[in-house]
């Protein structure tokens, strides 16, 4: 009697699961049929899903949701943002790489986290850059080095670097193989500084660590720090970009301060799964170009502290390739 009831409960669970899986399957097979029948002539003619590999509300997600209405206007179909968070982004990226290349599933890819993910020697992933067809870059957020304004050991970038050559300093990072981590590693390798990374789960944690005086140096991105800098809560000493940031016209770049060849940024843009037809790529790139370079879009992104950097085609591929090269070079420096 007892076992029978439990059995019933089990059947109920399994049945609902089968039902759900079935629904999922149908969706996929209809997508496949759609792909076989339609020509790219009337593409797109149904909603496009864009996978964001991070939870709702993060920087990538915010950027995606700001772009969404502009992209809908250009493509004439609705665009859905779907958050597939987890695995440091690889739940979403894995799904994007393996999605039907029919142009109805696109996704955001983030550097250098994407490269770290497939170059991490501890995880044997089958995906790599060639699993994706890059469409267009939306944002490039350059790295910034900041300190607590009350710190009396150093007050400019030169003093900081010189001090760090002889003293161990703790430096924030947003995880192993993040752009912030690579930035301090690059400085250590190139200029003999002794930055020791303290890995946090996000930029907000990093900021709190430096504001509270617990960690010595803040390695983060301009978009994450310039507000606190304007408020006088932290002091940005240098940016790791080739040119000065439009948000921080008074702050020198590392190269200007006498430390060239250390650049750091996090770039995010859209990609499709490999195998997508060339015509569809052209349609998408054209629409993305108009949407991303739309002045209203640029302004809204700027309000969020995000610098739009539209790159498409070969230029975007070059940007990704150079990120990949950087990560390959640094991968041996990481203590995995």
Distant-in-sequence, close-in-space partners of 258: CB < 8 Å, separation ≥ 6: 158
x/- contact string, 57-96, with other proteins (CB under 8 A)?
A: xx--xx--xx-x-------------xxxxxxx-xx--x--
Determine which residue in the list 18, 22, 24, 258 makes contact with other proteins, applying CB under 8 A. 24
Note whether 42 binds other proteins by CB under 8 A. Answer: no
Note whether 166 binds other proteins by CB under 8 A. Answer: no
Contacting other proteins within 317-336 (CB under 8 A): 334-336
Note whether 18 binds other proteins by CB under 8 A. Answer: no
Q: In the complex with other proteins, which residue's Cβ is closer, 200 or 241?
A: 200
Residue 270 C-beta: closest distance to other proteins, Å = 18
Asked if 210 and 146 touch (Cβ cutoff 8 Å), the reply is yes
- Residues 38-56, buried b or exposed e (16+ Cβ, 10 A)? eebeebbeeebebbbbbee
How, if at all, do strands 308-312 and 132-147 pair? antiparallel
- Residues 188-226, buried b or exposed e (16+ Cβ, 10 A)? beebebebebbebeebeebbebbbeeebbbbbbbbbbbb
Determine which residue in the list 170, 285, 286, 321 makes contact with other proteins, applying CB under 8 A. 170
Question: Considering just the CA atoms, what is the radius of gyration of the chain in Å?
Answer: 23
**69, two tokens:** 């209405």
Q: In the complex with other proteins, which residue's Cβ is closer, 44 or 177?
A: 177
Asked if 206 and 143 touch (Cβ cutoff 8 Å), the reply is no
- What single string gives the DSSP state of each residue in 205-220? HHHHHHHTTSSSEEEE
- Looking at 102-110, 172-180, 239-247, 273-281, which segment touches other proteins (CB under 8 A)? 172-180
Residue 90 C-beta: closest distance to other proteins, Å = 5
Q: What ranges make up the beta strands (E) of 46-128?
A: 48-52, 79-83, 105-111
Residue 85 C-beta: closest distance to other proteins, Å = 6
Contacting other proteins within 267-286 (CB under 8 A): none
Angstrom distance (rounded) from CA 126 to CA 113: 16
Please report which helix (H) or strand (E) contains residue 144, including its range.
Answer: strand 132-147
Note whether 150 binds other proteins by CB under 8 A. Answer: no
Residue 62 C-beta: closest distance to other proteins, Å = 5
**139, two tokens:** 């944002």
Note whether 40 binds other proteins by CB under 8 A. Answer: no
Asked if 183 and 260 touch (Cβ cutoff 8 Å), the reply is no
- Looking at 8-16, 40-48, 150-158, 322-330, which segment touches other proteins (CB under 8 A)? 8-16
Report the interface residues with other proteins, using CB under 8 A.
1-2, 5-6, 8-9, 12-13, 16-17, 20-21, 24, 55-58, 61-62, 65-66, 68, 82-88, 90-91, 94, 116, 120, 122-123, 168, 170, 175-177, 196-202, 204-205, 207-209, 211-215, 227-228, 230-231, 233, 300, 303-305, 334-336
């Amino acid at each position: 009697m007892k076992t029978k009831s439990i059995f019933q409960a089990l059947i109920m669970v399994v049945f609902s699961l089968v039902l759900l899986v079935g629904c999922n399957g149908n969706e996929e097979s209809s997508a496949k049929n759609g792909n076989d029948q339609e020509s790219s002539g009337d593409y797109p003619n149904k909603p496009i899903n864009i996978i964001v590999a991070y939870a709702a509300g993060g920087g990538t997600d915010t950027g995606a949701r700001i772009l969404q209405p502009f992209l809908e206007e250009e493509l004439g179909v609705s665009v859905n943002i779907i958050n597939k968070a987890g695995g440091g982004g690889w739940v979403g990226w894995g799904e994007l790489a393996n999605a039907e290349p029919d142009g109805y599933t696109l996704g955001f890819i983030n550097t250098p986290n994407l490269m770290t993910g497939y170059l991490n020697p501890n995880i044997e992933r089958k995906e790599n850059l060639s699993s994706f067809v890059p469409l267009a870059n939306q944002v490039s957020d350059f790295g910034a080095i900041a300190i607590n304004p009350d710190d009396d050991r150093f007050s400019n970038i030169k003093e900081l670097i010189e001090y760090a050559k002889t003293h161990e300093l703790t430096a924030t990072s947003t995880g192993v193989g993040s752009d912030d981590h690579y930035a301090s590693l690059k400085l250590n390798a190139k200029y003999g500084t002794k930055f020791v990374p303290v890995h946090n789960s996000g930029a907000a944690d990093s900021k709190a660590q430096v504001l509270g005086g617990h960690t010595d140096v803040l390695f983060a991105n301009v978009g994450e720090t310039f507000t606190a800098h304007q408020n006088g809560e932290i002091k940005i000493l240098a940016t790791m970009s080739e040119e000065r940031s439009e948000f921080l016209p008074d702050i020198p770049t590392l190269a200007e301060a006498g430390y060239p060849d250390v650049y750091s940024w996090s770039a995010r843009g859209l990609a499709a799964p490999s195998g997508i037809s060339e015509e569809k790529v052209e349609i998408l790139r054209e629409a993305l170009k108009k949407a991303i370079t739309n002045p209203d879009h640029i302004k809204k992104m700027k309000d969020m502290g995000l610098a739009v950097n539209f790159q498409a085609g070969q230029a975007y591929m070059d940007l990704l390739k150079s990120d990949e090269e950087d990560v390959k070079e640094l991968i041996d420096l990481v203590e995995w």
